[in-house]
Structure 1
Amino acid sequence: MASESLFGVHGAALEVRSQRMGLLASNIANASTPGFKARDLDFGAALKAVEAGNTGADLSGAIGYRMPTQTSLDGNTVELNEEQTAFAENAVQYQSTLSFLNGRISTITRALKGE
């Protein structure tokens, strides 16, 4: 596909980072929910799934449960500090990927206009 050659792996990476952001946000939102099990995405496995199936790929095989370092009495496995750190790191990576894609689109646009 032409967009794959123009954007390389970055389009798929953006989709995976977006999915991961949703999972991490859900973990943070449920930090006080008894019995809630924190989940995360295996970036490498998810990226392969997206690249193989293009956009909208089923990423369920790349999603797993986090193993807490300290268990909670109510069965909740969310460790808020860990989740917030992972969310912030993922947000920076998402923004970096988005900036790269915006730069690439700008270059292609200028080339099409003959600038």
Structure 2
Amino acid sequence: MVAISAEEDNRPASRSLFNRLFNDFTPSDQEEQDTRRQYGSGFVISPRGYILTNEHVVRRASRLLVHFFGRKGPLPARVVWRDTHHDLAVIQVRSSTPLKPLAMGSSRHTEVGEWAIAIGNPTGSN
């Protein structure tokens, strides 16, 4: 399992020339207010760095970082696929070493009492 932090840039797309010049020369806490962070989790599904997560975690992200347990720093990621209807997304990180994917099971072979984890929103409800 991995932890994902998504940074969303909340700055307005267009600012007046005066505001851009004024803000560039005046340090403030505004920069921290301009960035919103969202957190989620995911699972490595391929040694090549593909990770399954929820689409709502990456929906408005301008920057994604994946934190691996037992590794020093986070790795930047990019969205490679998303499905808003089912709330699923696949992101990818580039790692110098192959990643260990989660062993996937099959719902056909799962029996009552076994541990199972479901990700997404198969009903499409909000």
Taking structure 1 as the reference length, the TM-score comes to 0.24
Higher-RCO chain (CA-CA 8 Å, sequence separation at least 6): 1
TM-score (norm 2): 0.23
- Give the strand-richer structure, 1 or 2: 2
Higher helix share: 1
